[in-house]
A and B are shown apart, each in its own frame.
Chain A
Amino acid sequence: MAIFYILLIFMIIAAIIAVETKDLLSSVICIGAIGFGASLMFLFLRAPDIAITQIVVEVLGLIILIRATISRDLTFISGDREFFGTVVSVVIIAVIFLSGMKALETKSFHEIQETRQLHPQAVALPDFGTPIYDVTPGAASQKYIQEGLEKTGAANLVASVILDFRAYDTLGEATVLFTSIIGATVILRIRSKKLLEEPE
């Protein structure tokens, strides 16, 4: 468990540096550090599929981000917005943080079992270390793990979930990726009518 805390503190420090530094290239490199820390976290959280995807996506994302920040005459934009707007934003974000801390309070597994005897449908967020399908009655993940191999034949249960049990989500994801790539390609198109008008 100590490795999780070390990696999380590393990611938080890198995020603070990425937010506060005035040089754009440094903040992009800190994004790379956060991404690699996240990939290590996924590996220790027993998700090798996600770790592979996160590392390769991180590398391509870094290339795309650096393409935007390599510019010769980029002046350092100093200061934030006006003072009143910054103070109001910080106060609201502090309120969001405190209410999030209250909402993410966890109970241990034994407490949830005892409360379940009085109120049979009680659900709470379990402690870190108990998966959430243990405390949810009738969860779908139980069926996916027990019957995944005989109903789909795939040894990789995550692949059987995304391509057989929940294939509609993959269809939606393919559509979203298609649309965003078309959008990016159309925005960066250079109108060639100017080239035809210029020699005349």
Chain B
Amino acid sequence: MRGMTVIVKTIASWVKVLIFVFGIYIILFGHLTPGGGFAGGVILASSYVLLMLAFGREFVQENLPSAAASRLDCLGAFLFAMIATLGLAFGGSFFVNYLYQKYLPGEPLHLVSAGTIPLSNIAIGLKVGASLFLVIFTLSVFCKDLRCKEPEADSEIGTSAGEKE
């Protein structure tokens, strides 16, 4: 998968920041406006997919963090389970919205409200975004008899399995 022209690369690196900030906005305001953790996480992942499509396979393999993404994925799932278990400790049963009922009610229709719902949104958004980034990263650097040898790029040095059977 080779990269694109200089114009596309420049614009992609600017637009990627805007898409990332938009994804964070959709996650944070998930309890007030439509959106939530799932849509916001997918938008975060697609900001990195834009980079992958614009810059090609070698850049992606060297510079984009795939080990950090799998750690963030596990961290998101662990945070979601921890928020639920803390409900058992503070509220009396699993998944109780203890922040809304006891400690921090806030006011409705403001950003600080609804207890543990924004925190759960952040954990789910982190998890979904990191998972989808990881799977598209793996799909784009995989190379085994499926359009690996581009005609003009010498890619045998960078990829780890360019051999045909």
Contacts and interface: CB of A to CB of B under 8 A. Distances in A.
Note whether A and B contact each other (Cβ less than 8 A). yes
Interface of A: 48-49, 51-53, 56-57, 59-60, 63-64, 67, 70-72, 149, 152-156, 158-160, 162-164, 167-168, 170-171, 174, 177-178, 181, 184-185, 188, 190, 192, 194-195, 198
A60 B117 contact: no
Nearest to B31: A154
Contact of A184 (B43, B45, B135): B135
Contacts of A154: 31-32, 113-114, 117
Contacts of A70: 147
Interface string B142-155: 10101100000000
A71 to B, nearest CB: 6
Q: State the majority secondary structure of interface residues on A.
A: helix
A72 B147 contact: yes
B144 A190 contact: yes
Given A67-B139, A67-B140, A159-B31, A153 B77 contact: no
Contacts of B131: 177-178, 181
B96 to A, nearest CB: 9
B43 A160 contact: no
A174 B80 contact: yes
Given A170-B124, A192-B160, A153 B105 contact: yes
Given A52-B34, A164-B97, A178-B77, A152 B136 contact: no
B100 interface: yes
A190 B117 contact: no
B95 A71 contact: no
Contact of B115 (A53, A153, A174): A153
B146 A152 contact: no
A170 B39 CA distance: 14
B24 interface: no
A59 B46 contact: yes
Contacts of A177: 127-128, 131
A160 B117 contact: yes
